Structure 1
Amino acid sequence: MRLRPIDLAREHGLSTQAVRNYEESGVLPAAERSPYGYRVYAPRHAAALRTFLALIPAHGHATAGAIMRAVNDGAVQEALRLIDASHGQLADDRSTLEAVEVALRDLAPPGEPEPGVTHIGPLAHRIGIRPATLRKWERAGLIVPRRDRRTGYRVYTAADVRDGLLAHQLRRGGYGLGQIARVLEQVRAAGGTEPLQATLGEWRDRLTARGLAMLAGAAALDAYMGRHCA
């Protein structure tokens, strides 16, 4: 069966230029040319495009393209490495979400007053750690207090205190500083723990959708490789 760029494009609501771009980038195998120089596609190209579009929700546009280029070049091990890395990232994200949920649940007992502005000694005492640990967390970017212009002492705001308590909960749970930093980034991006609480369900839904998309993408890739890359 001979297919034109428009035939591939129409199935997915794409432009013919997009189809040509995908071919030029290696996402689609190289097309044959007619005697007049026009591209001539085959069912393999249509299957490659369907597979690429199925991989995007699972792995993102860039990684999906890299996977398809590797498969089309016969570099199956590279394609599997990319897929493994993407699955690993999803597992890390899911672990981070679970850490946030646990830490927020244990962060502050009901009715405890909001933490106020403080210095390194009182904060270390409140958390139950040494001041040296707070300085280590500062070097790791977990908590970045401002400095008093007059004395040069570290000054911890209410948000810093919250992040310190949250970091302590996560450390007790066995999480590394890098993962804790990602958790705190989520808290800061949400504007605090209360807004973050409201977004946890949406966050979990996104991770679930990615996991399901990975299953669908894997099925599409397996079918493509079995039929067109054997």
Structure 2
Amino acid sequence: MPSKLMIIYVAFDLIFAACGGLLMGFSLISEQRLRNTPTVDNVAQNLLLGQCPLTAGVVNSIFVFVTFILSLPALFLPLNRGWLRAQGWLVVFSAIFTLGLGLTVWVETLETRRRLNDIWGGEAPLIQSLLQQKFDCCGYFNSTSPGYVTDAVCVSDLVATQKGGCIRPFYLFANKYLDQIFTAAFGIVGVDVLLVLCVAMVLKYRQEQERYKHIDEKNGAGGF
């Protein structure tokens, strides 16, 4: 019967693989969404996702799956430590990779206002109009700033002046959305750290088992 330590180790190894699947699914689904026709419902999310390292997320998830597959021999070879050491280093690398992705998104949140202005200014009038409709506002700063579009929401300059600019609602939405992404990335890093600790404990346990085995062999040999 497996020990509690091995059960915990296997559980975190499976959670580690599940995090890779989550990362892969999010990255691929997000890339698919970016190819969809922009609408009021998806325009803001897509603009923000376009600034995220989605391709790097796919690469990271593939690395997670490879690490998980390489960990399987460690499960079926109860005294082996080489595969465990290799898994430990690979998980550390994966954690650093994921941490880098999370920090990239986090840094973007620190410059959200400036970046959103650049994003807004670089989009076509159709996208700017969809953003105005989504946040019920007119123009980025106000109706006199570049990027203001007359549409169903901003039907006239008077209405546009009363509604105000999109900077605040867009900024709040972007911060909340990006916060969820980098928080999830940091959560995956937390799982990686716990798995590394489990690997270290299993290595220590197997080292002790091997030591006791050598002691028993010496004692048995001395009895003849």
TM-score category, normalised to shorter length: 0.3 to 0.5
- Provide the TM-score with structure 2 as the length reference: 0.38
The structure with higher relative contact order (CA 8 Å, sep 6+) is 2
Give the TM-score normalised by structure 1: 0.37
Which has the larger share of helix?
A: 2
